[in-house]
Structure 1
Amino acid sequence: MDTPDTGPSGDVEDLLDHLRESRGFDFRGYKRTSLLRRIQHRLDQLEIGSYGEYIDRLQIDVDEFTALFNTILINVTGFFRDPEAWDQIGSVVIPKLVADKEPGDPIRVWSAGCSSGQEAYSIAMLLAEALGAERYLDQVKIYATDVDHDALAQARHATFDDAAMRGVPDGLRDRYFERRDHRHAFRHDLRRTIIFGRNDLVQDAPISRIDLLICRNTLMYFNAEAQARILGRFHFAVVPDGVLFLGKAEMLLSHGDIFEPLDLKRRIFRRAQATPPATPRPVRSSAGGGPSAADVLGELRSRGFSASPVAQFVVTVNDDLAVFNDQARETFGLHPNDIGSPLRDLEISYRPAELRTQLAEVKSRHEPARITDVEWQRPNGVVQWFEVQVNPLLDGEDLLGVSFVFDDVTIARTLRRELERTNRQLEATNEELQSTNEELETTNEELQSTVEELETTNEELQSTNEELETINEELQSTNDELKVINDALGDRSTELNRVNDFLQSILTGIKAGVVVIDQAMQVIAWNAGAEELWGVHTAEAEGRHLLDLDIGLPMTEVKPVALNALSDPTYVGELRLEAVNRRGRTITLRLVCSALSNTHGDGNGALLVMETVPADAGTSVNSLQ
Structure 2
Amino acid sequence: MTKPDYIVAIGASAGGLAPLLLFFEHTEIDGIAFVLILRLSSDSKDNLNNSLSTHPTLGLVHATEGTLLEANKIYLIPEDQLMGIKDGRFIPLIEENALSPMTIDAFFISLAIEIGTKAIGIILSGIGNDGAEGAIAIENTGGVVMVQDPVSAQFKGKPQAVLKVSNTNLLLAAKDFPAAIQQHIASHRLIRVPKKKNLEQQSIVEITHLIKANYPYDFTEYKNGTLQRRIERRMLHHDIQDVKNFITYLQQHPEEIEILISDFLIGVTSFFRDPEAFHILEKEIIPRIISAKSENELVKVWVACCATGEEAYSIAIMIKEYLDVQQVSLNVKIFATDINETALKQAGSGIFPLNIAKAMSKERLEKYFEREADSYKIKSEIRELLIFARHDLSKNPPYCHVDLISCRNMLIYIKPQLQKQILSKLAFGLNTKGFLFLGSSEHLTIDKNNFTEISSKWKIYQYTGTRKLTNLDTEFKTPLSGLSGNTEIKSAVPTASGFLIPNEDIHALMRLETGFTGVIIDKHGTVIESYGDLGPYLKQERFKYRLQELLPDNLDLAVNAAVKDVVSSNARKSINNIPYPDPSTGRSSAADIVVSSYHDQQTNSARFLVIFRPSDYIRLQEVGTEFQMDTQTKAYILQLETELLGVKQNLSASNEYLETSREAMQAFNEELLSANEEMQSANEELQSINEELETVN
* TM-score, normalised relative to structure 2: 0.43
Higher Rg: 1
